[in-house]
Amino acid sequence: MHAEALLELRKFVAPEFVFGPEALALAGRYARNLGARRPLVVTDPGVEAAGWAEQALASLRERGLAAVVFDKVTPNPRDHEVMAGAEVYRAEGCDAIVAVGGGSPMDCAKGIGIVCSNDRHVLTFEGVDNVETPGPPLICVPTTAGSSADVSQFAIINDTTRRVKIAIVSKTVVPDVSLIDPAATATMDRDLTAHTGLDALTHAVEAYVSNAHSPVSDLFALEAVRRIGANLPRALDAPADLPARAGMMLGSMYAGLAFSNAILGAVHAMAHSLGGLKDLPHGLCNAILLDHVVDFNFNAAPERYADVARALGGEVPADAPLDERKAATLECLRAFKRRVGVSVGLADLGVTRQDLAALAEFAAADPCMATNPQEPSCEDIVAIYEKAL
């Protein structure tokens, strides 16, 4: 750690969280402690089918709370879904929100909260610190080990008119409490486990090399890489291995605490563009793009990328020439992607060369690009997309 890094002004935000088995069962207690009487439970059909939403509802009922369910949430949550949820919240006289699910229900819940407290359309909050009045009490129960929305100051919403994902960045969308129960991730299928796990890895990598990193975010980012490297293959090979699921949940949480404060980079900016324009799975887009962005960025932060590769279990000799360290780092990341079964490119998801100019334009304007270690031109972004096809 360079001495000058210790003299930079940085802040660090994080919610209260409870981590471990049976954390989900505490939803009712925490909602009651926060003054809730009629919470809105925001979830999606997949989480309902897995039974996790009902477990949260049972906990709420045990505490005498009359919960209302809003489950009209899809992957890459849309602006109109947030506004529909806000209408339900108002019409039902709700006074708190409990989000149960992955990043989509949690981001939608954050949007619903600030729409109701500010009486504005969700898209007007785009950018940094644009939320004047905090939302109602918010409890998050994550069911994937990847998005980290339960500990972050981000909400990502799909602007369906412009076909672009917007980022709402504000400590007002940091949940009041996150109930992190590793058992709630055991029903994910293999692909979702891999894609959300690689999303968490990307969070950690981008936070560590971000130009807004700090000694505290570095601590969480590198430990996240270690946890994910050790546990994601185990969770894929033995889906019922609860210690592996817990290791992934902890890695995801660490990565979230890191990126919520250090922000992200070009991988997420480009993945947001793909999610907005083409409605593609966020975690898979990150996984496909990660090593190609590292290839572009490497010379701007070679020591930090080498740290990441070593934390993932790779060997990167400190005294090797730069090109050899770069090659070793890239091979480490690519080998890990292969190990967890991600071998497709963007072309396999339906992306064409004709899409790349528009994708690059949206990615260049994404706020995550501001903290990328190297500033790319639109031409650079197009070239990275081309390599990922």
Q: How many residues does the chain have?
A: 389
pLDDT for 233: 98
Please identify which residue in the block is written with the tokens 């660090």: 12
Mean local confidence (pLDDT), 330-348: 96
Mean local confidence (pLDDT), 185-208: 97
pLDDT for 4: 61
217-241: per-residue pLDDT in tens?
A: 999 999 999 999 999 999 999 999 9
Predicted confidence (pLDDT) at residue 3 exceeds the cutoff of 60: no
Neighbouring C-beta atoms of residue 22, cutoff 10 Å: 11
The mean pLDDT value of the chain amounts to: 96
The rounded distance, in Å, linking the Cα atoms of 299 and 295 is 8
pLDDT band at residue 376, thresholds of 50, 70 and 90?
very high
pLDDT band at residue 10, thresholds of 50, 70 and 90?
confident
User: Which of 138-169 are b and which e, b meaning 16 or more Cβ less than 10 Å from the residue's Cβ?
Assistant: bbbbbbbbbbbbbbbbbbbbbeeeeebbbbbb
Query: How far from chain centre, in Å, is Cα 13?
Result: 16
Provide the residue ranges of all domains of the chain, joining segments of one domain with +: 16-185, 190-388
- Considering the entire predicted model, what is its pTM? 0.96
In the structure encoding, which two tokens stand for residue 303, read together?
Answer: 């020591």
The rounded distance, in Å, linking the Cα atoms of 96 and 288 is 37
pLDDT band at residue 9, thresholds of 50, 70 and 90?
confident
Predicted confidence (pLDDT) at residue 275 exceeds the cutoff of 80: yes
Neighbouring residues of 216: CB distance < 8 A, sequence distance ≥ 6: 10, 12, 261
Do the first three CATH levels of 16-185 and 190-388 match, i.e. the same topology? no
130-142: per-residue pLDDT in tens?
A: 999 999 999 999 9
Write the CA distances from 6 to 3, 19, 89, 168, integer angstroms: 5, 30, 45, 28
Query: What kind of fold does domain 190-388 have according to CATH?
Result: Dehydroquinate synthase-like, alpha domain (1.20.1090)
For residue 175, with 0-12 CB atoms within 10 Å meaning exposed, 13-18 middle and 19 or more buried, which class applies? buried
199, 224, 151, 239: CA torsion to nearest 10: 60
Predicted confidence (pLDDT) at residue 2 exceeds the cutoff of 70: no
CATH class label, 16-185: alpha beta
Q: Give the CA count within 13 Å in the CB-facing half-sphere of 240.
A: 0
In the structure encoding, which two tokens stand for residue 361, read together?
Answer: 């334009």
Neighbouring C-beta atoms of residue 31, cutoff 10 Å: 28
Predicted confidence (pLDDT) at residue 95 exceeds the cutoff of 70: yes
Cα Rg of the chain (Å, integer): 20
Mean local confidence (pLDDT), 360-367: 94
Mean local confidence (pLDDT), 203-219: 97
290-324: per-residue pLDDT in tens?
A: 999 999 999 999 999 999 999 999 999 999 999 99
